[in-house]
C-alpha cells in the first residue's frame, strides 16, 4: 500500500524529497529552455538574408 505518513520523520523525509524534486525540475527546465533559445538563435542567423 502507498504509505505517505512519514510519522515523526516527516520533517526530514519531505524536505529531502522536495528539494530533490525542485533541483531535478530546475536542471530539466534550464537544459530545455537554453536548448530552445540557442536553436532559435541559430535558425534566425541562418535565415537572415545576407547583405
Partner 1 sequence: MFGLANPDRFLRFTRPLTPVLWGLAAVLLAAATWFSFIAPEDYQQGDTVRIMFVHVPAATLGLMAYAALGVSSFFALVFRHPLADAAARAAALPGAAFTALALVTGSLWGKPMWGAWWAWGDARLMSVLILFLFYLGYMALRASIDDEAKAARAAAVLGLVGLINLPIVKFSVDWWNTLHQPASLLRADGPSMSAVFLTPLLMMMAAWTALFLAIWLTSIRTEIIRRRVLSIRARRALEA
* Distance from C-alpha of 31 to C-alpha of 39, rounded to nearest angstrom: 12
Query: Which residue is it, cell 534550464?
Result: 30
Separation in Å, CA 5 to CA 12, 18, 21, 28:
12, 15, 19, 29
Task: Looking at residues 12 to 41 of the shown chain, list those that interact with partner 1 (rule: CB under 8 A).
Answer: 12-13, 15-17, 19-20, 23-24, 26-28, 30-32, 34-35, 38-39, 41
Place of cell 524536505: 15
| Binding status of residue 47 toward partner 1 by CB under 8 A | no
The reply to whether 49 sits near partner 1 by the rule CB under 8 A is: no
Binding site for partner 1 (CB under 8 A): 1-10, 12-13, 15-17, 19-20, 23-24, 26-28, 30-32, 34-35, 38-39, 41-42, 45-46
Amino acid at each position: 500500500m502507498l504509505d505517505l505518513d512519514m510519522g515523526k520523520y516527516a520533517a526530514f523525509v519531505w524536505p529531502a524529497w522536495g528539494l530533490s524534486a525542485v533541483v531535478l525540475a530546475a536542471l530539466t527546465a534550464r537544459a530545455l529552455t537554453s536548448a530552445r533559445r540557442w536553436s532559435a538563435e541559430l535558425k534566425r542567423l541562418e535565415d537572415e538574408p545576407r547583405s
